[in-house]
C-alpha cells in the first residue's frame, strides 16, 4: 500500500482566484493506480508553512506531491521549502542551466537572471524534464519515501506526471477498477435510501456524488489483477444498476447531452430558450442532430416562434403553456423533427421557476422545477431539466421514442 498526500502551493489557490484543478487530476490518477490518498492541502506562498507541511506529510505518507511554486520569482518557494524540510542546500545544476539558457537563446532572448533558481537541485533530488515550460520538476527520494514537485500550469503538470513521475514511482501491484453510474431526477438522499447498507462496503465500495446533471454513484473494487477486481465488483455493480435503473441515463464518460443525442436516433433537434442565456445550447453544442436554436427573451420574437399572445397574457412567458407552444414552434419554425424549449425566471417573484417542454410528431411532454438560487444556478438547472426531460421522452420506451 502506498499512502499519498497532495500539497497545492499558491496564494492565488488559497484565496480562490484560481480553481485547483491539478489536485483533482492527481487524485483521480492516484486512485486509478491503487495509491491511497489521505489528504489534500492548499497553502499560500510561505516558506515556513510549506516546509512544515512537507515535514508533517512525510511523517504519515509515503508519497508527497507538491503542485506549483516552481516559477522564477521570489514568491515561488517550493524548492526552498523542500530543501528546508529535508535539511539540504540547493545549488545550480550545470546541465539544467545550459538547457534553460539554450531554451531562451532558441527564442532569440537572453535568459533573465531570476530564472537561475529554476536550475536548482538538492542532493536527493532528480530533475524532471519539462518539454513545454521553463520549470523542471523534482523527484526526491528520502528515507524510503518520495517527494515530487510539479509545475502549476496544468498542461505542463499533466505531461510531466505521466511521462516522468509515473515511471519512477513504485506503484502498488494491485488493480483498482470503478464504474460510475449517472442518474437524474432523484436526489442524493433518495439514492442513499435505495442503496441503504451498500455504501458501508469497504471493497467493493459504493459512493454517491451530487453533480450538475444529477447524482453519480461510483462502484469500485481493488484486487491483485484487473480481472479479479472486475470479478469482485460485478455482483455489487449489477445490484446498484438494478436499484437505480429507473433514473439512470449513462455511465462513466457519457454525458447527458450525448445520451440525448443517442435518443434522437437520427432525428434533428431544434431548441428555443428564454431566460436561460443559451445554457442549454452550450450543453448541446457537440450533440449529433442539434439543428438550430433561438435564444431570446424578447416577447415579439417569441411570438414569431410560436408563443401565442393569449398564453403570454394569461399565463406569462415562464409557464408550462408557453414552454409547450415554443417546443412546437421549434419544430415548425426551426424545421426540426424534435422541438425542445425551456423558459426560466431568474429575477422577481417567480425566480427559480423553470418549465421545459418537448414536442414531436408523436406528441408532447412538459416538466417543471421551482428551486430558487442565483442566476447562474437557475440557468444551469433549467438546461439540465430540459435535457433530462428530452432524454426520458426519447429513450427506448419513452413517450416520444
pLDDT (tens digit per residue) in 377-393: 899 999 999 999 999 99
When pLDDT is cut at 50, 70 and 90, the band that residue 224 belongs to is confident
Q: Which three cell numbers stand for residue 87?
A: 535539511
Q: What is the mean pLDDT of residues 185-199?
A: 90
Secondary structure class of 275 (helix, strand, coil)? coil
Q: What is the mean pLDDT of residues 33-45?
A: 93
CB count in 10 Å sphere of residue 1: 8
Q: What is the mean pLDDT of residues 193-197?
A: 90
Q: What is the pLDDT of residue 371?
A: 84
Asked whether residue 355 carries a pLDDT value surpassing 90, the answer given is: yes
- For 314-336, the pLDDT digits (tens) are 999 999 999 999 999 999 999 99
Domain ranges of the chain: 3-168, 175-251, 256-394
Mark residue 151 as left, alpha or beta (left: phi above 0; alpha: psi -120 to 50; beta: remaining): beta
What is the fold of 256-394?
Answer: Maf protein (3.90.950)
Instruction: Give me the CATH code for the 175-251 domain, please.
Output: 3.30.70.2860
Are 68 and 22 contacting, i.e. CB atoms less than 8 angstroms apart?
Answer: yes
Q: What is the mean pLDDT of residues 160-179?
A: 91
When pLDDT is cut at 50, 70 and 90, the band that residue 167 belongs to is very high
When pLDDT is cut at 50, 70 and 90, the band that residue 61 belongs to is very high
3-168 domain in CATH 3.40.50.620? Answer: no
- For 96-151, the pLDDT digits (tens) are 999 999 999 998 999 999 999 999 999 999 999 999 999 999 999 999 999 999 99
Kindly tell me the burial class for residue 98, based on how many C-beta atoms sit within 10 Å of its own C-beta (0-12, 13-18, 19 or more): exposed
Q: Which long-range contacts (CB under 8 A, 24 or more apart) does 300-306 make?
A: 302/272, 302/274, 302/326, 304/333, 305/272, 305/329, 305/330, 305/333, 306/272, 306/330, 306/332, 306/333
pTM of the model: 0.70
| Beta strands, E only, 290-350 | 290-295, 338-344
User: CA-based Rg of the chain, rounded to a whole angstrom?
Assistant: 27
Amino acid at each position: 500500500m502506498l499512502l499519498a498526500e497532495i500539497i497545492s502551493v499558491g496564494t492565488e489557490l488559497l484565496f480562490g482566484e484560481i480553481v485547483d484543478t491539478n489536485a483533482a487530476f492527481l487524485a483521480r490518477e492516484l486512485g486509478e493506480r491503487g495509491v491511497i490518498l489521505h489528504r489534500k492541502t492548499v497553502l499560500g506562498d510561505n516558506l515556513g508553512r510549506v516546509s512544515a507541511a512537507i515535514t508533517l506529510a512525510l511523517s504519515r505518507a509515503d508519497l508527497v506531491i507538491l503542485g506549483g511554486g516552481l516559477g522564477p520569482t521570489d514568491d515561488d518557494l517550493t524548492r526552498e521549502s523542500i530543501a528546508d524540510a529535508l535539511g539540504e542546500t540547493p545549488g545550480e545544476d550545470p546541465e539544467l542551466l545550459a538547457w534553460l539558457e539554450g531554451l531562451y537563446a532558441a527564442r532569440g532572448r537572453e535568459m533573465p537572471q531570476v530564472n537561475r533558481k529554476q536550475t536548482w537541485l538538492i542532493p536527493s533530488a532528480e530533475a524532471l524534464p519539462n518539454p513545454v515550460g521553463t520549470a523542471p520538476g523534482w523527484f526526491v527520494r528520502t528515507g524510503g519515501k518520495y517527494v515530487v514537485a510539479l509545475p502549476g500550469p496544468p498542461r505542463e503538470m499533466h505531461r510531466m506526471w505521466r511521462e516522468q513521475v509515473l515511471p519512477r514511482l513504485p506503484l502498488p501491484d494491485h488493480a483498482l477498477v470503478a464504474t460510475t453510474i449517472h442518474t437524474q431526477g432523484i436526489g442524493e438522499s433518495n439514492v442513499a435510501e435505495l442503496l441503504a447498507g451498500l455504501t458501508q462496503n469497504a471493497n467493493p465500495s459504493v459512493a454517491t456524488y451530487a453533480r450538475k446533471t444529477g447524482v453519480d454513484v461510483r462502484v469500485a473494487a481493488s484486487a491483485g489483477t484487473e480481472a479479479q477486481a472486475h470479478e469482485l465488483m460485478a455482483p455489487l455493480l449489477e445490484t446498484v444498476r438494478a436499484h437505480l435503473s429507473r433514473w439512470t441515463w449513462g455511465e462513466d464518460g457519457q454525458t447527458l447531452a450525448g445520451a440525448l443525442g443517442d435518443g434522437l436516433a437520427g432525428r434533428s433537434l431544434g431548441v428555443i430558450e428564454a431566460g436561460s442565456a443559451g445554457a442549454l445550447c452550450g450543453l448541446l453544442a457537440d450533440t449529433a442532430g442539434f439543428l438550430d436554436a433561438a435564444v431570446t427573451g424578447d416577447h415579439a420574437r417569441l411570438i414569431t416562434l410560436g408563443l401565442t399572445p393569449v398564453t403570454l397574457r394569461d399565463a406569462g412567458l415562464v409557464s408550462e403553456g408557453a414552454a409547450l407552444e415554443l417546443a412546437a414552434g421549434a419544430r415548425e419554425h426551426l424545421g426540426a423533427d424534435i422541438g425542445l424549449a425551456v423558459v426560466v425566471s431568474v429575477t422577481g417573484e417567480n425566480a427559480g421557476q423553470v418549465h421545459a417542454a418537448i414536442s414531436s410528431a408523436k406528441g408532447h411532454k412538459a416538466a417543471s422545477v421551482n428551486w430558487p438560487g442565483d442566476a447562474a444556478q437557475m440557468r444551469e438547472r433549467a438546461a439540465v431539466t430540459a435535457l433530462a426531460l428530452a432524454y426520458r421522452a426519447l429513450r427506448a420506451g419513452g413517450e416520444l421514442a
